Homo-oligomer: A and B are copies of this chain.
Amino acid sequence: MTRAGRPRLSSRPMLEDAAHELFLEQGYAATTVDQIAQRAGVGRNTFFNYFGAKSDVLWADVDDALAALPPSAELRGDDDPIDAVRTALLEAADTMPAHRVPWAVSQSELLGLGAELASSGVHRLARLTEWLGSVLSSRPERPSVTERAAAHALAGAALAGAIDWVRAGRGRSALRDHLAPALEPVCTGFSAGSGCRTA
């Protein structure tokens, strides 16, 4: 089935490839959106039809993984929501194979990224936190401090695990293996059934 309208003559992967080439050749900051579009053989505006910002190219893989997270409604009402999100996170991690490391992060030193990487990456952290909060909060309109703290802390721990995964180098194992130990202490701290806290 083909939708109406002019068919696209470019695609996200095409633009990604062009951008990655240029980033490797000249570095991220020195590469302009014009150059990316030119190498891909399209106009500059077409780039912004596919990516909202230049830095979005760096995070295409992560954005896909985040978009693939199950809707919060599916996990709400679970017995132990902490355990539910942990399982969902680990399953989402399994969809990202070890050879497909987020391109940007693995090349960060080489590309001279730094502040740039951090500032664009936190958007993804914020989205993860939002998703976690929507699952963990019994009343999403007014979540408790603890629920918010759990969402932020879990997101932070997941980030730490992901960073560790990336830094593990080529021989790294699955993302799940790095994520699980990072999440575990936070889960025990916040899990209602941990039994080691009276409150």
Contact = CB atoms under 8 A, between A and B. Distances in A.
A88 interface: no
A122 B121 CA distance: 10
A125 interface: yes
A160 B154 contact: no
Each complex incorporates copies of this chain amounting to: 2
A59 to B, nearest CB: 13
A99 interface: no
Contacts of A152: 156-157, 159-160
A33 B155 CA distance: 34
Interface stretch (A23-31, A104-112, A177-185): A177-185
A100 interface: no
A153 interface: yes
A197 interface: yes
Contact of A189 (B119, B129, B160, B187): B187
Interface residues of A, number: 39
Among A125, A145, A155, A161, max chain B CB count under 10 A is at A145
A122 to B, nearest CB: 4
A128 to B, nearest CB: 10
A186 interface: yes
A194 interface: yes
B161 A145 contact: yes
A187 B159 CA distance: 18
A140 to B, nearest CB: 14
Nearest to A178: B145
Interface of A: 115, 118-119, 122-123, 125-126, 129, 145-146, 148-157, 159-161, 163-164, 178, 181-183, 185-190, 194-197
10 contacts: A119-B119, A129-B156, A146-B181, A146-B182, A149-B181, A153-B156, A155-B156, A185-B189, A186-B190, A188-B189
